Structure 1
């Protein structure tokens, strides 16, 4: 990506907290109209990196530029950044419209401009039907949409979202995704930190995986998936019950590892038995298999390979070169 194409440019950004580096020598770019999904385990440095981009903190080394300006030192450029934290940051006793008016004032928007901008934010987040209701009486999904709308009151060029769909139901998730799709269509650059792999596949143009404060993989999602899907498909088994020690040992011998609460196991290497033969072989060893699935590798596989190449049979080094645009 050429530097002059990027709205957001991060070069060698480094930040320490209580003597520990939480962001270390990070380089990344983000264009207008593009969505970059930031992935990584808890404590990887995702939120710290977002705070650097938002201008909430200055880097100790390196540089962050938004439209060529330093967001920490330039107050004007911060007005073009919408920050949606993981925590709900609203006034529960005020209505949705009153919250938007307060955030417009805090953003320095002139009184005469506030009503039109508030209406636009309500329409963008599809909140007109609850505009007069107190925020504290709304569901968690609606509150998250109001949280997003409050960040959009100044029509920002860049929107940063930290786990925007955490803890919401499917209907609220779909509504939030629709808001983000509208933002992208209007040309906003979006940086979203999430643990939801399906969300990434639906929304992201690019992904960046962080671990221990560093980017370990970054690139265009279609390119990364295309490279991954040249390999054989993955095998996944669904269990009717949690496996005992003997069943776990059999699954491990067959190349499987648990991917959730222990009811789903996915192959970590290719080869071996297929389909019906695999089902019969596992059941013969006491594994309570209810179903064998074949699936194309997706974002979760990319993520696991970036953090631990050995877990997926990959041979890449831990720090992986960025995939060019």
Structure 2
């Protein structure tokens, strides 16, 4: 038999000052699986996570975590790890001391605190910095320590809001390595992110939220397989950012911006011209083309089909 889901959301609605933030959201989070929650700013991602964490009461519908209502039942809240964007640690304490403090605050019995701290340190791969002050650590280590705090109670549901925001590529890879291991413990992960590469690396499923509603929800492999059954994407790499005239020429040829130096087209490009002819045409119109590549469409193409142009944060992280 399949285990019960870690969390179930049904017909969820929330309004704020008369504005509908979420409306009719249905979502099921399976144990041992990771779901990427993507959508434009203001789509309701953080509000949905706060509802799941029991920080808000829904205006309509139900939220159940482990069968309980996290807003009303402390037992349900104890099964949830909430990792917000902001790092919430004591900078003048060491990593280990922070975990010990938060273990007490979480109400862990005295006998359970030491093994819980050791387990969280291992899960977040923090052994080499456990005795260093949090305030002197890099942003990447601080975010891993923040995640470790959330793991002290062995949660059934882990909610992460932009877990790698503001860190470099090396730190992001280290955080991803930590998060990739969590579903093996049986936890369900919901990761709100603007980073398409992060979503593709971490998630089994993707849910696209727009205007307070889930517009797309499915297994990432299935969604990408259906998308890749069509024509490949063409990608133009520029040597310099496109000025107004160059941008107009790229758009006329069917391309859209996908980064500061990257433009993409999802269908047959420029009236069927081959790469050499397209390259010559674009350069004739003053486009600073470095090269033209053919690539399989990814999550950014799915997002574009549902929502429109990708958010600036995702474009900034796109391949050059």
The normalised TM-score by structure 1 is 0.91
Contact 1:3 1:9 in 2 (8 A): no
2:317 equivalent in structure 1: none
1:134 equivalent in structure 2: 133
Q: Deviations over 1:232-290 (max 9, x none)?
A: 000110111233333222211110111222x2111154342232221122112221111
Contact 1:257 1:268 in 2 (8 A): no
Counterparts in 2 of 1:4 and 1:111: CA distance versus 1, 3 Å: closer
Distance 1:70 1:220 in 2: 27
SS in 1 for 2:108: coil
Question: Across the two proteins, how many residue pairs are aligned to each other?
Answer: 308
1:281 equivalent in structure 2: 281
1:257 equivalent in structure 2: 256
Distance 2:107 2:4 in 1: 29
Counterparts in 2 of 1:80 and 1:244: CA distance versus 1, 3 Å: closer
2:24 equivalent in structure 1: 25
Greater mean deviation of Cα atoms: 177-186 or 146-155: 177-186
2:104 equivalent in structure 1: 105
Distance 1:18 1:3 in 2: 41
Distance 2:287 2:188 in 1: 47
SS in 2 for 1:56: coil
SS in 1 for 2:88: coil
1:123 equivalent in structure 2: 122
1:147 equivalent in structure 2: 146
1:89 equivalent in structure 2: 88
1:294 equivalent in structure 2: 294
The answer to whether the aligner puts 1:236 opposite 2:268 as a matched pair is no
Distance 1:6 1:181 in 2: 19
- Displaced runs of 4+ in structure 1, greater than 6 A? none
The normalised TM-score by structure 2 is 0.92
Distance 1:62 1:6 in 2: 17
Where does structure 2 lack aligned partners over 5 or more consecutive residues? 311-320
Query: Cα offset for 1:51?
Result: 0.6
Where does structure 1 lack aligned partners over 5 or more consecutive residues? 313-325
Counterparts of residues 130-279 of structure 1 (less than 5 Å): 130-261=129-260, 263-271=261-269, 272-279=272-279
Distance 2:239 2:130 in 1: 46
Distance 2:144 2:112 in 1: 22
